[in-house]
Amino acid sequence: MKAEDRKALILMYSKQLFSEYGYHMTQISDIIKRARIARGTVYQYFKNKDDIFITLLDNYFTTWRNGLAKRDSELDFSKITAVDFLKQRIKTTLQFFADDHELCNIVLKMGVGLHDNIEKVIQRLEGDIQTIIKEELYLGQRTRNISEDMDTDLVANLLTGAVLRTALYYFVQEREAFKDKTVDELAEGITRVFAPGLFQKVPSEEQETNDPS
């Protein structure tokens, strides 16, 4: 087996165990037993359990960012509306969580309350989501789809919370409820809540010309 394949195997079984039993209850010995490898094999690739856990999270966040970039490359920005773009962004992030229940469980449910190094990695995903949302809100303000006086920090926090809480509920806590929903429907629902308060109509040239101010 190639070195990269063996490393991926260790990560796969570690992910399963972390999701099933949590970070604290999972030991290196459990990973060795599940993966059917020698103890020394783990330490060829990872320093310790923290290193395995953080590598899983880092890989997860990289996949999410790459997914956003890929999705953006497929969009025709000359035709897509601001509302549709919001919905696509929400859908892409929800789909990311839905596609890997075990990592979704680790990040959104079991990752809270761990020591600083791990919490910082988990918080980075939330921070990245908020940063991207704020950048897109600023773009919306420049194109006059969004009011200039809108509190972008508040809106970014509200949207991030809505997406993460929705993912936690439907993909981790109440997975049975997700059987009656699709990612499209969830994204549509969140968009319907936020879009009316976010977007304003862009004034036409005629309206701007006749504006007495």
Same domain, 61 and 18: no
| CATH code, 14 | 1.10.10.60
Residue 212's pLDDT is what?
Answer: 47
Say yes or no: 88 and 8 in one domain: no
Band of the pLDDT at 7, cuts 50, 70, 90? very high
Which amino acid, residue 79?
K
Based on the fold, state whether residues 103 and 177 are members of the same structural domain: yes
The tens digit of pLDDT for each residue in 8-55 reads 999 999 999 999 998 889 999 999 999 999 889 999 999 999 999 989
Determine, yes or no, domain membership for 213: no
In-domain check, residue 55: yes
Instruction: Tell me, yes or no, whether 59 lies in a domain.
Output: yes
pLDDT of residue 193: 94
Which CATH number does the domain housing residue 112 bear? 1.10.357.10
Among candidates 81, 69, 104, 83, which has minimal Cα distance to 187? 83
Are residues 103 and 139 both part of a single domain?
Answer: yes
Residues 127 and 165 in one domain: yes
Residues 59 and 114 in one domain: yes
Q: Is residue 211 part of a domain?
A: no
pLDDT digits 0-9 by tens, 143-173: 888 999 999 999 999 998 999 899 999 998 8
Rounded alpha-carbon distances, angstroms, from residue 130 to 46, 124, 125, 142, 170: 31, 10, 9, 18, 21
DSSP E strands, 34-191 = none
Whose CA is closest to 38, among 25, 47, 29? 29
Residues 26 and 119 placed together within one structural domain of the fold: no
pLDDT in the model for residue 204: 45
- State how far the Cα of 20 lies from the Cα of 70, in Å rounded to an integer: 31
What pLDDT, on a 0 to 100 scale, did the predictor assign at position 131? 87
Shared domain check, 159 and 81:
yes
- Encoded amino acid at 135, one letter: E
> What is the span of the domain harbouring residue 34?
1-46
Last residue of a domain, one of 10, 29, 46: 46
The mean pLDDT value for 184-201 works out to 90
Q: What are the Cα distances from residue 98, in Å, to 67, 77, 101, 162?
A: 13, 26, 6, 15
Answer whether 167's CB lies under 8 Å from 94's CB: yes
Q: Which two tokens stand for residue 111?
A: 């990752």
The SS3 of residue 146 is strand
- Residue pLDDT, tens place only, 87-109: 988 998 899 899 998 988 888 87
Number of structural domains found in the chain: 2
Residue 112, pLDDT score: 61
